Amino acid sequence: MTAVILDGRHVAQLTEEQLSKRVETLKEKSDGRTPVLATILVGDDPASATYVKMKGNACRRVGMESMAIELPASTRTNDLLKEIEQLNENPDVHGILLQHPAPSQIEERACFDMIALEKDVDGVTCLGFGRMAMGESAYGCATPQGIMRLLAHYEINLEGLHAVVIGRSPILGKPMAMMMLEANATVTICHSRTRDLKSHVRQADLVVGAVGRPEFIRADWIKDGAVVVDAGYHPGGVGDIELGPLAERASAITPVPGGVGPMTINTLIQQTVESGEKALH
């Protein structure tokens, strides 16, 4: 078999066309106001700066506005908390993104959790995670939510599937598992210290690679016909899964790059538009 390519770039482009119309409608109803995403970048990490720029560009493509807040690497936790508090209180801001990672002196979790639930469009707060895990209203973490949207677009029904998620980060592996459980999949969570990881992966109808190590998950671990989602990206254009041999064995596969990555930013923008709609209507 030849694997169906789960094309995140294509789905993101289709979504941007829809979001542009929603933003235009919102502007007509609210005297020209648009949803606004505030991005906070602490320090001068080049990769983080690039990601923030990409998010600003995505805002502009759908007619939204973005507000870029750049703070020096010497910023302390209390200073950052005050910035976030001001954004929480600003009625013109509908989404808040704190770019990860923050410098080591900052208590990142405290700063994430300062973000108001209704503006937590990146799905990073403990409150948002808890509500999502309980099936209550909240914005899901952008990467796993993007993966769920990608699977839905290609009509991959998770009900009854055995999904194996390799990775347990609070913004990817853990929320991914909860979202798939909510969609009636049977979920196994593994990680880099799982004993006999190969045997767990071999049972999977759907594999999510989110462990953060290049090609850590080998192709020969994955059974024929599985759906393969690679959420990793490393220098050289490789992900967390050895994808090459799976092109003729998997039923569906996310390319690296061009699969999960575009859906992450796209989901952030979509959730900011939703937040704007709630606030501006």
pLDDT, tens only, 81-122: 999 999 999 999 999 999 999 999 999 999 999 999 999 999
Per the rule left: phi > 0, alpha: psi between -120 and 50, beta: everything else, 160 is left
Predicted confidence pLDDT, tens digits, the chain (281 residues) = 899 999 999 999 999 999 999 999 999 999 999 999 999 999 988 989 999 999 999 999 999 999 999 999 999 999 999 999 999 999 999 999 999 999 999 999 999 999 999 999 999 999 999 999 999 999 999 999 999 999 999 999 999 999 999 999 999 999 999 999 999 999 999 999 999 999 999 999 999 999 999 999 999 999 999 999 999 999 999 999 999 999 999 999 999 999 999 999 999 999 999 999 999 87
Burial class (CB in 10 A: 0-12, 13-18, 19+), 173: buried
State how far the Cα of 42 lies from the Cα of 21, in Å rounded to an integer.
33
Active-site residue, from 7, 119, 120, 122? 122
Residue carrying the six token digits 């759907």: 206
Nearest to 251 by CA among 112, 132, 138, 151: 151
State how far the Cα of 217 lies from the Cα of 242, in Å rounded to an integer.
6
Three-state secondary structure readout of the chain: CCCEECCHHHHHHHHHHHHHHHHHHHHHHCCCCCCEEEEEEECCCHHHHHHHHHHHHHHHHCCCEEEEEEECCCCCHHHHHHHHHHHHHCCCCCEEEECCCCCCCCCHHHHHHHCCHHHCCCCCCHHHHHHHHCCCCCCCCHHHHHHHHHHHHCCCCCCCCEEEEECCCCCCHHHHHHHHHHCCCEEEEECCCCCCHHHHHHCCCEEEECCCCCCCECHHHCCCCCEEEECCCECCCECCECCHHHHHCCCEECCCCCCHHHHHHHHHHHHHHHHHHHHHC
Verify whether residue 205 is a known catalytic residue.
Answer: no
- The answer to whether 196 and 155 are in contact (CB under 8 A) is no
Active-site residue, from 7, 55, 119, 270? 55
Verify whether residue 53 is a known catalytic residue.
Answer: no
Residue carrying the six token digits 């953060």: 212
Burial class (CB in 10 A: 0-12, 13-18, 19+), 277: middle
Domains of the chain, start order: 31-118 (3.40.50.10860), 142-261 (3.40.50.720)
Nearest to 270 by CA among 133, 175, 87, 139: 139
Active-site residue, from 7, 99, 240, 270? 99
- Provide the residue count of the chain: 281
- Please, what's the b/e burial string for 136-167 (b: 16 or more CB within 10 A of its CB; e: otherwise)? eebbbbbbbbbbbbbbebeebebeebebbbbb
Residue carrying the six token digits 């939703």: 274
Verify whether residue 55 is a known catalytic residue.
Answer: yes
Q: What is the pLDDT of residue 1?
A: 81
